[in-house]
Amino acid sequence: MRSIFAKLFIWFWLSTVFSGLVFFVIAFNLRLSPMRDERKRHFAAQHQQVLGQALAIYGSTAALLTEKQGSPAEADADQGRVAGPRAYLFAADGTPISRGVPPRIATAVREHVAGKQERPDDRDLVAVTVQGPSGKRYLAAALPRPVPPPPHELNPLRPPPLFWLQMAITFVVSGLVCYFLSWCIAAPLRRLRAATRRLADGDLSSRVTVIPRQAGYEINDLGRDFNLMAARMEKLVLAHKQLVRDASHELRSPLARLNVALGIARKESPPSATKALDRIEYESDRLNLLITELLTLSKLDEGSELDRSDLDLAELVEEVARDAEFEACASDRHVQWSATRGITVHGNRDFLSRALENVVRNAVKYTAEGTAVEIVLEREEATALLRVRDHGPGVPEEQLADIFRPFYRVAEARDRKSGGTGIGLAIAEKTVTLHGGSIAARNLPQGGLEVEIRLSLG
């Protein structure tokens, strides 16, 4: 979970779900207390209704017995066999008929008959008016016992019906909303990242879309600053390339005049000046080579469309290797090659030949005397793999990626002594990249440097 989109999505989602759960629990508990009280009142009313019905049955029976036998003793005796509040029979004026009436109930019945306000202790008295067979009215009264808690008491920890279905729906809907919000927030950062990568890959025209009316929005301001930086970089790099290109073109004419003057000087100078003139010619040739490579690098940097055709890479490798072998023999070095036939690539022959030649000549310069540069070309799936290995001192690990930069030198004095310009490997890297390939260098455990080139098959 390293991306900002994932972090925003997870935290938004968890925060939404947690907040919804907390609010639900609070709302549920706020509703639970009134619901519990209402449930208790309803259950108490039902309890009193049942008690009233029981009193009506008792009163009718007790009234019948009283009129026939003069006393409800038999009905009172039957109550002892049944669990529940004890009922008593009273006359219509509140006079007790049943025996053993508690004073508390007798007083409550008299006050009830007189219509007085009930005392707090007797407000739960239940009294029912019944009629005997003769039409005479009686009162059956009882004090109910404490009402037990209603069955299936509401539990704040027990979720209500359909709770988990509601939670699942909330979870999914909040997830979709948070995903959309996170995607919208992270979208400018993704565009900025893509533009940064294009800029790093060499696309100096890379920019991000900035909405002018969103001034003050931090990500929008970041995109505006990126565009300013990219524009300045493009301007500086293009000015640098233009300077190199113009300077190289301007140096062509003086060099041509210098070579003409050198030829005239050789004819008119004494033999003692030959050594100095040879040195001037050597430096002139180096300068001419440098200018040629600068113009080549400039053309490659422009990304100009190259004339391409299908070419036999094995034939090209063999041609470059033979030329390099001819030059290497003069310094007790050799070039060995092994090329798989039938490997065809689609590209520019001149530029690929120059790129391969630069890599091979660089290897010949630094391989030890009495050793051979090894060139191997083989097919690897849909890729042509070319390896060029020398037996030299290699390159420090931290500088392996830098050797393909223009004018970069691992060892200043050695490179200048070898006659290198510091541009050959840069040209090779640009050429391979324009052909959709890759080039890399690595030090071998047994010593020496190996440059690996990969090109897509045509």
Residue 11, H or E segment: helix 4-69
Give the C-alpha separation, 404 to 164, whole Å. 63
Give the C-alpha separation, 74 to 339, whole Å. 125
The one-letter code for the residue type at 448 is: G
Q: Give the ranges where 396-438 is alpha helix by DSSP (H).
A: 412-418, 424-434
Contact 47, 126 (CB under 8 A): no
> What's the pLDDT score for residue 35?
67
Q: Which three-class secondary structure string do you get for 361-375?
A: HHHHHHCCCCCEEEE
Give the C-alpha separation, 38 to 26, whole Å. 19
344-347 and 438-443 beta bridge pairing: unpaired
Q: Would you write out the chain's pLDDT as a tens digit for each of its 458 residues?
A: 556 666 677 777 777 777 777 776 666 666 666 766 777 777 777 777 787 888 888 888 888 888 788 887 777 776 666 666 788 888 888 888 888 888 888 888 888 888 764 444 444 678 888 888 888 888 888 877 776 665 555 555 566 666 677 777 877 887 787 777 777 777 778 888 888 888 887 778 888 887 776 555 677 788 888 888 988 988 888 787 777 777 767 777 787 888 888 888 888 888 888 888 888 887 887 777 777 777 777 766 666 666 788 899 999 999 999 999 998 998 899 999 998 888 899 888 888 998 899 899 999 989 999 999 999 999 988 899 999 999 988 898 888 888 888 777 776 434 444 555 677 888 888 888 888 899 999 999 988 999 999 998 86
Q: How many CA within 13 A on the CB side of residue 200?
A: 6
Write the pLDDT tens digit of every residue in 56-97.
888 888 888 887 888 877 777 766 666 667 888 888 888 888
Number of neighbouring beta carbons within 10 Å of residue 234: 16
Give the C-alpha separation, 312 to 379, whole Å. 13
Q: 305's torsion region: left (phi>0), alpha (psi -120 to 50) or beta? A: beta
Residue 190, H or E segment: helix 163-200
